[in-house]
Amino acid sequence: MKKETAKKPKEDMTEKIYYEDVMCSVFEAKVLSCRQRGDRFEIIPDRSAFYPEGGGQSGDRGFLLCPDRTPESGEGGAGHAVIHVLDTQERDGDLILCCDAPAAEGERIEGHLDWEYRFDRMQNHTGEHIVSGLIHERFGYENVGFHMSSDRMTIDLSGALTEEEIREIERRANEIVWSDVPVYTDLYTEEEAENVEFRSKKELHGTIRVVRIPGADVCACCGTHVLRTGEIGSIRIISHVRFKGGVRMELMCGRWAYNYMTGIFIQNHEVSMALSAKMNETGSAAQKLLQEDAALKFRITQLLYSVIDRKARELRGTGDVLLFAEDFSPLLVQKLTAKVMEECGGSCFSFSGTDDAGYRYAAGESGGDLKELVRKMNQELNGRGGGKPFFLQGSVSASREAIENFLSGEKEGLQIIDL
Ligand SMILES: [Zn+2]
C-alpha cells in the first residue's frame, strides 16, 4: 500500500535554489513571512539557497543583508542590517530560516551562506555515498544509520568488515575521487522509480531524487552534493568497531579529513623528534622503547630485591625496626617487610611515601600478632588497611614524624632506618 504524498505543493512555497544550483552561495529573495518563536525569528523567503536539515545533513547557516534599510531606520550601521541565519529547517513544507532578528513581510533580502560550513557537508555527504555505495556493491550491506557531526560522520553497516576489507574500500573510494567523475541528480516519479535500481528505496513518495555517482553509487537522497567527485579531495575511514552484528565506522572527507590528518601529522612529527626516528618508523621506534622500558623495569626490580635481601641480612637480630624506603611500590613494601621480619627477630614496619601524599605501609612479625597495634595506628594516623595478625598492610595520611612518634611510643627500643 502506498501512502498519499504527504507534502502538497503550496502556492507560496519557497523556490529551492540549492536543487537548481548547488554551488550558489549568494542570492536575492523576498520575505514571504516572519514570525517569532522563542528567542528566534522564523523567516520564510520566496527563494533560498540555504539547505534545510534533512537526510543526515544539518541545516545551513549564514546571514541576510537587508539592502532597503538605512542607518536612519536604526537597523544597522552601514546602511544594511545584518540578520544572522543560525539554522535552516523544513516544517510542513515551509522552508524556514531560523534567525536572530526579524525581517518585514515583502522586504528584499540578500542571502549569504556560510560556504565553508556548507561545502564541508557537501564533500562529506558525497564521500559517504561513495563509501556506502561501494560497500553495498561489494558486500551487499546496507547503511542502516548515518550521523554527521561538526567534524566527522558515523555510518552503521548491516554486516561486519575486516580491517583489510575496510582499507580496500577506502582505497577504491579515493580512486573514485581521483577519477573526478560527475555527480548526477536524476528525478523520477514513483512509477518510474520502481524500475530503477538504487539504495534507500523505502518510504519514498512524490518526486524521487536519485544521486548517481558512476562506478560507486546510486542512491535516493535529498541532500546537497558536490558536482564532481574530485571536489571531495580525500576520503578517510578513521575508525571501525563491531556494532549490532555489523560495523560502525567513522569517516571524514575533504577539509575534515585534511584537518584530522594534519593533527595526526603534527603528533607523529613530535613523536619522531622525541624518538629520533624517521616519520614513517615511529611505530617500531615506540615498540622498541617500550621493550627497553620493560627490560629496565625488570632490572630495577631485580636490583631492589637484592637490596632488600642485603638489608634483611644486615638487620639480623636487631629487634623491632621501622624502615622508610623512598618510592617503593606496595608490592616492594610488602617484600621488604616479609624479608626483614624473618631476620630481625622482632616486628618490622615499612613505610614508603611522602608527608604530602601520605605513606603506604606493611607491618609484620613472625608468629606475632600486630592486629591491635595496627588498628590503633590506623586510628591515630588516619590510616586504613588490614590483613593477617602476623602481616598487615595499608596506608596512612600522616607525616613521617607522626609515624615515628606513634611507633616509638608503642615499641620501646625501636630502630628507625632509612633504606
Ligand atoms: Zn544522501
d(CA 87, ligand 1 centre) in Å: 19
CA of 130 to the centre of ligand 1 (A): 10
- The whole-number pLDDT of residue 4 equals 38
- Distance between alpha carbon 22 and the CA centroid of its chain, in Å? 31
Give the per-residue pLDDT at 80: 62
Full-prediction pTM beyond 0.75? yes
Say how many Å lie between the CA of residue 220 and the centre of ligand 1: 7
Q: Which residues pair with 108 in a beta bridge?
A: 30
Closest CA to 351 of 402, 409, 389: 402
Superfamily holding 119-268: Threonyl-trna Synthetase; Chain A, domain 2 (3.30.980.10)
Same fold, 15-113 and 299-418: no
Which pLDDT does position 3 carry in this prediction?
A: 37
pLDDT at residue 194 in the model? 87
Task: Give the mean pLDDT per block of 10 residues along the chain (419 residues).
Answer: 42 88 97 96 97 92 92 55 95 94 95 98 97 97 93 96 97 98 94 87 82 96 96 97 94 98 97 96 97 96 94 95 95 96 96 97 96 96 96 97 96 93
The single residue listed with the C-alpha cell 612518634 is 405
182 Cα–ligand 1 center, Å: 16
Q: Is 407 helix (H, G, I), strand (E, B) or coil?
A: helix
**Distance from residue 125's CA to the centre of ligand 1 (Å):** 6
276-318 pLDDT, tens per residue?
999 999 999 999 999 999 999 999 999 999 999 999 999 999 9
- Domain covering 299-418 in this structure, CATH number: 3.10.310.40
The domain segmentation of the chain, as residue ranges, is 15-113, 119-268, 299-418
Q: Output the CA 54–ligand 1 centroid distance in Å.
A: 9
- pLDDT tens by residue, 220-277: 999 999 999 999 999 999 999 999 989 999 999 999 999 999 999 999 999 999 999 9
The CATH number of 15-113 is which of 2.40.40.20, 2.40.30.130, 1.10.10.10, 1.10.3720.10? 2.40.30.130
Angle among Cα 305, 310, 314 to the nearest 5 degrees reads 145
The pLDDT tens digits of the residues spanning 388-401 come to 999 999 999 999 99
CA of 84 to the centre of ligand 1 (A): 27
CA–CA separation, 220 and 275 (whole Å): 50
Return the C-alpha cell found at 118: 556548507
Distance, CA 221 to ligand 1 centroid (Å)?
A: 4
Cα 306 to Cα 331: distance, rounded to the nearest angstrom? 15
| C-alpha grid cell, residue 28 | 536575492
3-state secondary structure of 272: helix
Q: pLDDT value at position 56?
A: 85
Distance 28 CA to ligand 1 centre (A): 27
Q: How far is 408 from 395, CA to CA, in rounded Å? A: 18
